[in-house]
Amino acid sequence: MLTVLSLRNRQENENSGGEDPDPEVNAKREFVKQMLKDSWDDYSRYAWGENQLKPVSQRGEAGGIYGDSKIGATIV
């Protein structure tokens, strides 16, 4: 029973958008946020309007599963 209450309290805290009491969880959240920001910054710098970024060559690519059209699939 205590475990269920513990999980419920944790879910309520996570759903509230507040800080998690576990510093490791907060560190992981910040890491994910930074990775997403870095990815978006690189896409907007090197491949804006293309479907995807080829990170090694730092170029955009329109091909792939979307065909040859530049539809900005990453933007969507």
pLDDT digit string, tens, across residues 17-26: 678 899 999 9
34 is a domain residue: no
57 is a domain residue: yes
How much is the average pLDDT of 6-20? 66
**Nearest-angstrom CA–CA distance, 14 and 34:** 19
What angle (nearest 5°) sits at the alpha carbon of residue 72, between those of residues 44 and 74?
65
33 is a domain residue: no
24 is a domain residue: no
If you search the block for the tokens 């509230």, which residue do you land on?
16
18 is a domain residue: no
| SS3 assignment for 3-68 | HHHHHHHHHHHHHCCCCCCCHHHHHHHHHHHHHHHHHHHHHHHHCCCCCEEECCCCEEECCCCCCC
H or E element at residue 53: strand 52-54
Binned at pLDDT 50, 70 and 90, residue 7 comes out as low
pTM, to two decimals:
0.63
15 is a domain residue: no
How many distinct structural domains can be found in the chain?
1
pLDDT in tens, 19-76: 889 999 999 999 999 999 999 999 999 999 998 899 899 999 887 777 777 888 887 7
